[in-house]
Structure 1
Amino acid sequence: MFIRIAVFDPLPLYRHGIIAILREAGLSSEAPEEVFAWMDNDHFPLVVLSLQASDDWELLERLCRTRSNLLVIALLPDDAIATHVRALASGAVATLPREAEPSAVRATVEAVISGRTVLPIGVLRGLTSHDAATTPEPALLSPRELEWLRHLSTGATVADLAERAGYSERMMFRLLRDLYKRMRAGNRTEALLLAREHGWI
């Protein structure tokens, strides 16, 4: 199946720079206005997505929930291991800091297209270490997710939280389920206990 590549970044110059880098590698890409309208069922989609604001992180999770065959390469605001791990846990298949060299961008995109991924060794160790497997990092939770936990800790219901966050109750349940899974908690009570243990609430 033909692979379509889209580049999403708030800066037009940066978007066109990524497109030019990929063109030099013989890869065609585009910078559509809206990602969900761009995706269709006839093509295999690959998205290069910059993650800077909290809305970008939410978009990453929504994209990966919407299309199981979607490949997302996340361009990160920093090169911290926790940021890489958070993006991968949210559904990205590869990660790069936004200031990565053009050669690294090309190599990562080409690897993903061929069904592989490229990760820094430190990130791989962060993903597979005993500590990473048993203790969630605070950086893995967005400010909005921490706010959800704070509200839940006051006795708020999921319906209350959904209304406050602007989601349907069903979507709120799904978002919380994903959050608990990333925290390695089995339910709301375990998640709140973990959050208190780490001083997040």
Structure 2
Amino acid sequence: MAMHLAVVDPLPLYRQGVSAALADLGYTVDAPEDPLTWVRRTPGLLLLTLLTENDWLLLNQLRTAAVNHHLIAVLTSDSVSLGARAIRAGAQSVLDRAVTDEVMRRTVVATLDGQAVMPAAVATALTAGTVAAPRSDPALSAEQLAWLRQLAAGMTVARLAHAAGYSERAMYRLLQALYRQLGVRTRIQALMLTQEQGWLRADVSP
């Protein structure tokens, strides 16, 4: 039976580019609307871009459904924490979304061959356990922890600004500074890191 590959990404141009790059290796490349159904029916490998918390939820679901499949997590950040989280959530390999076609091809071939491909820093962190243990002292202020918890609970930046007594523009600046402090670039990445490190627990204080 022919080996199939699937690309799950919100951007059609990215999916088309990846499909073209991998089709050169002789694989059939799909872009399934329902990845869970695809992995149950089609033997192969799935590349899943992780942008939102729903994407991470899908990765966890795929881990259960795709018992005999290969999963590559495609990340938009070189965060060691996110890379380690993807591996623990069920991905076999981790790939930066901005890699060249040649690196992508090599990663796919190696993953299909049973190897795990990831940045060296991610492998080191997983081996050492440096990203697995929650931190009791996140070096954040009580106010910053409260902001993260409120954002994780679904509060909008506008409502957060109003509750904190800032203008919406000032709140955005404060949050951007907080993201830099955490070593991430976006709100989604900050919330993923916050959840992973256990900072959402009520018993964690600065």
TM range (shorter): 0.5 to 0.7
Residues 13-162 of structure 1 mapped to structure 2, 5 A cutoff: 13-41=13-41, 43-132=42-131, 134-135=133-134, 147=153
Counterpart contact for 1:136–1:183, Cα < 8 Å:
no
Alignment-mate amino acid for residue 96 of structure 2: P
2 CA distance for matches of 1:133 and 1:52? 21
Alignment-mate amino acid for residue 112 of structure 1: T
1 CA distance for matches of 2:122 and 2:130? 13
1 CA distance for matches of 2:135 and 2:69? 26
1 CA distance for matches of 2:63 and 2:129? 26
Residues 155-194 of structure 1 mapped to structure 2, 5 A cutoff: none
SS of the aligned residue for 1:47 comes to: strand
SS of the aligned residue for 1:131 comes to: coil
What are the Cα deviations for residues 105-139 of structure 1, in whole angstroms up to 9, with x where unaligned?
1111000111112121111111111533544699x
Alignment-mate amino acid for residue 108 of structure 2: V
Say if 1:197 and 1:127 are closer, same or farther in 2 by CA, change over 3 A.
Answer: farther
Quote the residue 1:158 is aligned against: none
2 CA distance for matches of 1:197 and 1:22? 48
Deviation of 1:75 after TM superposition, in Å, equals: 0.7
2 CA distance for matches of 1:34 and 1:65? 15
How many residues of Structure 1 are paired with residues of Structure 2 in the alignment?
156
Say if 1:18 and 1:83 are closer, same or farther in 2 by CA, change over 3 A.
Answer: same
If you compute each CA radius of gyration, which structure gives the higher value, 1 or 2?
A: 2
Counterpart contact for 1:108–1:118, Cα < 8 Å:
yes
Alignment-mate amino acid for residue 59 of structure 1: L
Aligned-pair identity (%): 33
Counterpart contact for 1:5–1:47, Cα < 8 Å:
yes
Deviation of 1:195 after TM superposition, in Å, equals: 2.9
What are the Cα deviations for residues 163-199 of structure 1, in whole angstroms up to 9, with x where unaligned?
xxxxxxxxxxxxxxxxxxx979xxxxxx89x934544
Say if 1:95 and 1:2 are closer, same or farther in 2 by CA, change over 3 A.
Answer: same
Say if 1:76 and 1:199 are closer, same or farther in 2 by CA, change over 3 A.
Answer: farther
Question: TM-score w.r.t. structure 2 length?
Answer: 0.64
Question: TM-score w.r.t. structure 1 length?
Answer: 0.65
SS of the aligned residue for 1:88 comes to: helix
Quote the residue 2:163 is aligned against: none
Unaligned 5+ residue runs, structure 2? 139-148, 154-194
Counterpart contact for 2:3–2:44, Cα < 8 Å:
yes
